[in-house]
Amino acid sequence: MISIEEAREIILGKIERLETEEVPILESLGRVLDEDIYAEADIPPFDNSAMDGYAVRSEDVAGAWPGEPVELTVLGDVAAGYVPESPIGKGEAIRIMTGAQMPEGADAVVMVENTEHTGGGVLVFTPARPGENVRFAGEDIKKGDVALKRGKKIIPGDIGMMASVGKAVVKVVRKPVVAIITTGDELVDIDKPLVPGKIRNSNAYSIAAQVIDVGCVPLMLGIVPDSQEALMTKVEEGAGADMIITTGGVSVGDYDFVKDILDQAGEMVFWQVAMKPGKPLAFGIVQGKPIIGLPGYPTSSMVSFEQFARPALLKMSGRTDIARMTVEAIFEESFKNRSGRRNMVRVIVSKDNGIFKARLSGSQKSGSLKPMTLANGLMVVPEDVEELHPGDKVTVQLFEPITD
Ligand code: AMP
Ligand code: MG
């Protein structure tokens, strides 16, 4: 049986980044930029005041102090969004607001707090260095420079930058569409009555949520019964998407068809991984599309998605940061791992005075979903570690950042 790393590597080796599409900038958040964005003009576009105050010639106020203020003639004022009506000369100033364009002749701004308005002028109580309180044209980015580099994951500041260089539409890597097929005669959907012998199809929804969480689009193909023909039809339909995910039907039971379908209709790349939960996992290619057959048990399918489908979808999306953040934590309980497989244990991680602590989020049975509703990480118990005791150091993959 192959290891988690081997399985992940094989899958990633078959996954390619999707092509480019153009979207309005707000739709690009969290996605991968697929072009370099250049500044078409300086940012800021002109020298402007960083403060409300008076635009002055620094040499005029060089000797100013509260005991001997310098009096300047005020020629007028300029607000943000307007241009100064005149340049200033020796002994002159213009009242200026934050963001307003600097008048010609002025090289500094004295904050209004350090001045006093007089009849036709202003008393300046402090000197100003040349350039003081001025934001210079091109200070942020110069015309022609790269403002944002291709390949970066787009964050809110990037969207502001796109807007400031006048970009309304931007090239990003297309969002993968993921066909989700759940298999099993025992399944009924959430809006149907629960009759004896049946269980609700929760996998379709937990997997779709994981797909959305990773920035992709789920295509809900519903439940297929345990029949090879029915599954084949759905898988062919699913091949219209960028990836097909199935749940159930990958173990060694008589009604486990996913493996057979891959053998017949596509390329079966591997089956089974040395992981607990989630040993049954099928990976293959159908009509050129990757298909991941997740196990049926609710927790197994989610943990397997985390380890294999999530990195694959991130790679398709153009992302290079595809691993979950891991932390070292102190385990607070006892745990046995006699499986000989890597155990991905559902835990609750907390941070206490800068130290991460981990405890079980509940039963570790593959069928129980509740511990997945409480867990914020997966504790990685290596194949050769048979027992963990309180105080042992462990590695945990985090689903989200943890704060104190
Ligand atoms: P299987 O791998 O198909 O044998 O599925 C194993 C077990 O997982 C089944 O007996 C069900 O209890 C459970 N299961 C399978 N599919 C689903 C599903 N879509 N939603 C919830 N539980 C499921
Ligand atoms: Mg089944």
Tell which atom from ligand 1 comes closest to the C-alpha of 295.
2
CA distance 117 to 109: 15
Ligand number with the minimum distance to the CA of 295: 1
CA distances from 81 to 46, 77, 96, 97, 151 (A): 11, 12, 11, 10, 35
Distance 366 CA to ligand 1 centre (A): 10
What pLDDT sits at residue 258? Answer: 86
Fold match, 4-17+175-316 / 48-135: no
Write out the chain's pLDDT in tens, 404 residues. Answer: 999 999 999 999 999 999 999 999 999 999 999 999 999 999 999 999 999 999 999 999 999 999 999 999 999 999 999 999 999 999 999 999 999 999 999 999 999 999 999 988 999 999 999 999 999 999 999 999 999 999 999 999 999 999 999 999 999 999 999 999 999 999 999 999 999 999 999 999 999 999 999 999 999 999 999 999 999 999 999 999 999 999 999 888 877 888 888 888 899 999 999 999 999 999 999 999 999 999 999 999 999 999 999 999 999 999 999 999 999 999 999 999 999 999 999 999 999 999 999 999 999 999 899 999 999 999 999 999 999 999 999 999 999 999 88
In 3D, which of 43, 49, 47, 48 has the Cα closest to residue 163? 43
The predicted pLDDT at position 376 comes to: 98
| Closest protein CA for atom 6 of ligand 1 | 296
Report the nearest-CA residue for atom 14 of ligand 1.
296
Which of 309, 363, 354 has the alpha carbon at shortest distance from 327?
A: 354
| Span from the CA of 363 to the centroid of ligand 2 (angstroms) | 22
Gap from CA of 195 to ligand 1 centroid (Å):
16
Closest CA to 230 of 243, 221, 242, 219: 221
**Whose CA is closest to 308, among 333, 277, 264, 329?**
277
Query: What residue spans of 111-266 are helical by DSSP H?
Result: 156-164, 203-213, 228-238, 258-265
Closest ligand to C-alpha of residue 199 is 1
In the chain, where the domains are located:
4-17+175-316, 20-40+148-173, 48-135, 326-398
Nearest one of 269, 266, 278, 199 to 231, comparing CA atoms:
266
Distance, CA of 220 to CA of 214 (rounded, Å): 16
Q: Which of 183, 185, 186, 198 to mutate to test the pocket of ligand 1 (most atoms within 8 A of CB)?
A: 186
Copy the structure tokens of residue 275. 């992981």
Ligand 2 centroid distance, CA of 285 (Å):
21
Is 8:311 a contact under the CB 8 Å cutoff?
Answer: yes
124 within 8 A of 42, measured Cβ to Cβ:
no
Whose C-alpha lies nearest to ligand 1, atom 15? 296
Pocket, ligand 1, Cβ cutoff 6 A: 182, 184, 187, 199, 201-204, 247-251, 253, 295-298, 367
- Taking the CA atoms of residue 384, residue 387, residue 390 and residue 394 in that order, the dihedral angle to the nearest 10 degrees is 20
With CA atoms as reference, report the closest residue to 375 among 270, 296, 302, 295: 302
What counts of helices (H) and strands (E) characterise the chain? 8, 28
Please identify, by atom number, the ligand 1 atom nearest to the C-alpha of residue 182. 19
Distance between alpha carbon 178 and the CA centroid of its chain, in Å? Answer: 18
Other CB atoms within a 10 A radius of the CB of residue 189 amount to 13
Return the best residue to mutate from 180, 199, 234, 368 for the ligand 1 pocket (most ligand atoms within 8 A of CB). 199
The preferred substitution site among 203, 297, 372 for testing ligand 1, maximizing ligand atoms within 8 Å of CB, is 297
| Long-range Cβ contact pairs of 9-15 (< 8 A, separation 24 or more) | 10/269, 10/270, 10/283, 11/269, 11/283, 11/290, 11/292, 11/308, 11/311, 11/312, 12/311, 12/312, 12/315, 14/269, 14/285, 14/290, 15/290, 15/312, 15/315, 15/316
Which ligand has an atom closest to residue 368 CA? 1
Rounded to whole angstroms, how far apart are CA atoms 332 and 377? Answer: 15
What separation in Å is there between the alpha carbon of 222 and the centre of ligand 1?
Answer: 14
Task: For domain 326-398, give the fold.
Answer: Beta-clip (2.40.340)
Tell me how far the alpha carbon of residue 221 lies from the centroid of ligand 1, in angstroms. Answer: 16
Ligand nearest to the CA of 222: 1
Which ligand neighbours the alpha carbon of 227 most closely? 2
Best CATH choice for the domain 48-135 from the list 1.10.150.20, 3.40.630.40, 3.50.50.60, 2.170.190.11: 2.170.190.11
For residue 72, report the phi and psi dihedrals to the nearest 5 degrees: -120, 150
pLDDT at residue 257 in the model: 83
Rounded to the nearest angstrom, the distance between the alpha carbon of 86 and the centre of ligand 2 is 81
Spatial separation of the C-alpha atoms in residues 158 and 268, rounded to whole Å: 41
CATH superfamily of 4-17+175-316: MoaB/Mog-like domain (3.40.980.10)
**Atom 16 (ligand 1): residue with closest C-alpha?**
296
Instruction: Check if CATH label 3.10.290.10 holds for domain 20-40+148-173.
Output: no
Ligand nearest to the CA of 253: 1
pTM: 0.92
Ligand 2 center to 236 CA (angstroms)? 19
Euclidean distance between CA atoms 102 and 48, whole angstroms = 5
Query: Which neighbouring-strand residues pair with 285?
Result: 267, 290
- Residue 68 DSSP label: B
- Distance in Å, CA 383 to ligand 1 centroid: 25
- Residue 225 Cα to ligand 2 midpoint, Å, equals 9
